[in-house]
Every structure is written in structure tokens, then in C-alpha cells.
Amino acid sequence: MESKKVTVLDNVVIIRALLTLLLILYHSFAIYSGAWQSPFDNTYIPFYWWIDKFAYSFLLEGFVLLSGYVFAFSYHKIAHNKFSFPNLVKKKIHRLLLPSIIFSTFYYFIFLYDNQTSTFIKEIYGIINGCGHLWFLPMLFWCFIIIIPFIRINIGHKWKILGLFIISIVGFGPLSNFIPFRLSLTGYYFFFFYLGFLLWQKKSMLVKYSTPKNIFILLILFTGLFITLTIFRSQTITYENDLLSIKVIKVILKRVSKIIIACDGILLVFLSTNYFLSKKDLPSIITKISNYSLGIYIYHQFLIKLFYYKTILPNITGAYFSPFLIFVTALVLSYILTKYTYKTFLGKYIL
């Protein structure tokens, strides 16, 4: 079969849709990995624990890298001396911070508000930072703000990658608790944003290496790394009674293993997507999910948390069936909510 000509960013459409599905899967199974409090008395189901860990393995790093990849496409379409930084800031405030603040307000008063401990300053600060899953939007906002001055620093790419890799591993140490507006998290994720920016410039090489042999090798490598390092990170490493130096070493090892798994998973998805697109047409349902990804991202956790913590449905469906039901329900309802949100003037403006 002859290879098809792939349209620019078709791979982004598929990868964004895939990551959106993994995000819903992760939150649907979050009660089984300890990420969320469980509504059930006994929820230790090993297979479900592994599902949740897999869904999270390269999920957020993939979204950030994809954002850097798409930004590179936009940036290189415009002559660099004509690129407007103020316009970028304005656009990302509208695109990322505005929906974060609006929906964080609803999230705070639905799931987090405590009349006994809440203060006005605490509420405003929490909402601006992004409540619940919405923390991701202000964090991503800073990635876009930092990238312009960063790429204009006259240092080689290799040194920049090395520096960002060290920051992503070490973080900001004790200062992390005092750095506001998700900037401390940006210290970890900006490494992937910059990788995405560079990856766009190597997109032809990605296509060249998108072969069944390379995909198979990456799949085997990812499987081995994921299983081995996930066990290592979750069961081997404990911090009780450790000296500070030992704790630091363990934290670094956990962070390095996370980065390795994420990079392998992202590369595997890119190559697999490129190969798929060389043989098949872009499925329309994938395009629709990708186009609605922001709305689905915002709505889905509201639906999942309402299901688990605000209804009696978990008691009816049980611990084994609930995550599959909520995955399908959250996907369908968040898709529908997004679709009808876009039909309104205010909805188009917010999303």
C-alpha cells in the first residue's frame, strides 16, 4: 500500500484526542490508585490500579509537549521579527486563564468550600491558582509566556535542554511552597513544552522513523520501563526515617523515572500516529473529540466527582463496574456539554 500524504498537524488531532480519552480514564480510575479518596470500603483492585497508572504515565507531559509542538507551528508561520509577544499574552489569558478562573469558581464552591475555614483571600487565591484539575491551565499559561524569552537566549539547544532537565528533576526545592500561580509546576513541565517546540523542527525525521519496526521497539521498551519503574516508584521508594540526603536522592530517582517513561510514551504515540496516518484517513469522531478537547477537559472532572461523591450511584453500580460506567458517561456528557456550550455566544467566548 502506498503511503498517503499527511496534512500538517493531523497527528496533533489524533494525539490530542487520545490524551483526552486517557485523561478521562485516569480520573475515572483515580479512586483505585490512591489519587482520590474512595467512596467504597475496599477498592484495592490491582488491575484497576495499573489502568490508572498507565493512563497517567505520559498524559500531562504529552499535553504540554503537544502544546509546545503546536506553538512552534504557529511561531514559525510568522516572521520572528513580526511575532507579537503582547498579543500572545492577551490570547493565552483569554484561552487559558479566563476559563480556569470561571470554572475554578464553580469547582471551589461545589467541592472545596468550607464555611468554617474559608476566608475571602484564601478563596480568591485558590481560584486564581486553578482548583482541582484546572491547575493545569495557569501552569500551561506560564509555559507560553516563558517560551519567547527562552528561545531568544543565545545558548545552544543542548545546553537549554540539559538545564531544563535539571530543573524538571530538582524543581525549586523548599521554595516550591512559596511560588504562586503554579509557577513551581511549570518548572517541571516546561522541559516538555520546549521539547515539543524543538520536535516540530524535526517533524520530517519523526515521519521518517515512523516504521512498524521502530514502533514495536518503542512499545517493548515502554512496556518494560513502565512496569519496572512504576513498581520501583510506588513500592520500593519510601521516605520514613530517611536522612535528608537520602530523601533527595529518592525524589530525584522518582522524577527521572517519570520523565523517562513519559518521553518513551510520547515518542511511541507520535510514531504510531504518523504511521497510522500514512495508511488511513483521519477518523471524523477523533477530529470531533480533539476539537472539543478543552471543553471535555473542563467538564469531565465535574461529572466524575459528582458521580463519586454527590450521588448514591457508586453504591448501586459497585466498585468493579463504576469506573467503566463513569468513563463512558463522563466522555459522552462532557462532549455534549461542550458541543452546546459552543452554540452560545458566551460559551464560544469562554472556551
* 3 state SS of 58: coil
Contact 13, 287 (CB under 8 A): yes
| Domain count within the chain | 1
More confident residue, 231 or 17: 17
Please report, rounded to a whole number, the percentage of residues in the chain having pLDDT higher than 90. Answer: 67
Q: Is residue 151 part of a domain?
A: yes
Over the stretch 250-260, which tens digit does the pLDDT of each residue have?
A: 778 888 999 99
- The residue to which cell 504562586 is assigned: 180
Q: What distance lies between CA 325 and its chain's CA centroid?
A: 23
Q: Is residue 223 part of a domain?
A: no
Q: CA-CA distance, 3 to 114, in Å (whole number)?
A: 58
Q: CA-CA distance, 230 to 234, in Å (whole number)?
A: 6
Q: Which of 17-26, 179-188, 257-266, 300-309 comes out lowest in average pLDDT?
A: 179-188
Q: Is residue 226 part of a domain?
A: no
Question: What is the pLDDT at residue 2?
Answer: 44
Highest mean pLDDT among 73-82, 179-188, 193-202, 236-245: 193-202
DSSP 108: I
pTM (2 decimals)? Answer: 0.92
Burial 148-187 (b: 16+ CB within 10 A, else e): bebeeeeeeeeebeeebeeebbebbeeeeeeeebbbbbbb
Q: CA-CA distance, 211 to 208, in Å (whole number)?
A: 8
Residues 46-52, mean pLDDT to the nearest whole number: 95
Q: Is residue 265 part of a domain?
A: no
More confident residue, 26 or 231: 26
Q: CA-CA distance, 137 to 103, in Å (whole number)?
A: 11
Residues 312-340, mean pLDDT to the nearest whole number: 94
**Nearest Cα residue to 127 out of 103, 149, 111:** 103
Query: At residue 236, does pLDDT exceed 60?
Result: no
152: which 3 cell numbers?
A: 531568544
Q: CA-CA distance, 304 to 233, in Å (whole number)?
A: 27
Q: Is residue 97 part of a domain?
A: yes
Over the stretch 143-163, which tens digit does the pLDDT of each residue have?
A: 999 999 999 899 999 999 999
Residues 214-228, mean pLDDT to the nearest whole number: 95
Q: Is residue 325 part of a domain?
A: yes
Other beta carbons within 10 Å of 129? 18
Over the stretch 334-344, which tens digit does the pLDDT of each residue have?
A: 999 999 999 99
Residues 212-230, mean pLDDT to the nearest whole number: 95
Q: How far is CA 328 from CA 22, 153, 177, 199, in A?
A: 12, 46, 36, 33
Q: CA-CA distance, 141 to 181, in Å (whole number)?
A: 10
Phi-psi bin for 80: left (phi > 0), alpha (psi -120 to 50), beta? alpha
Residues comprising the chain, all counted: 351
Over the stretch 21-46, which tens digit does the pLDDT of each residue have?
A: 999 999 999 999 989 999 988 778 99
Q: CA-CA distance, 299 to 302, in Å (whole number)?
A: 5
Q: What distance lies between CA 143 and its chain's CA centroid?
A: 13
Q: Is residue 16 part of a domain?
A: yes
Dump the DSSP string for 28-54.
Answer: HTGGGTTSS--SSS----HHHHHHHHH
Mean residue pLDDT of the chain comes to 89
Query: At residue 113, does pLDDT exceed 80?
Result: yes
Q: Is residue 115 part of a domain?
A: yes
Question: CA quadruple 174, 178, 179, 180: dihedral positive or negative?
Answer: positive
Residue span of the structural domain in which 18 resides: 10-204+282-350
85: which 3 cell numbers?
A: 509577544
More confident residue, 2 or 108: 108
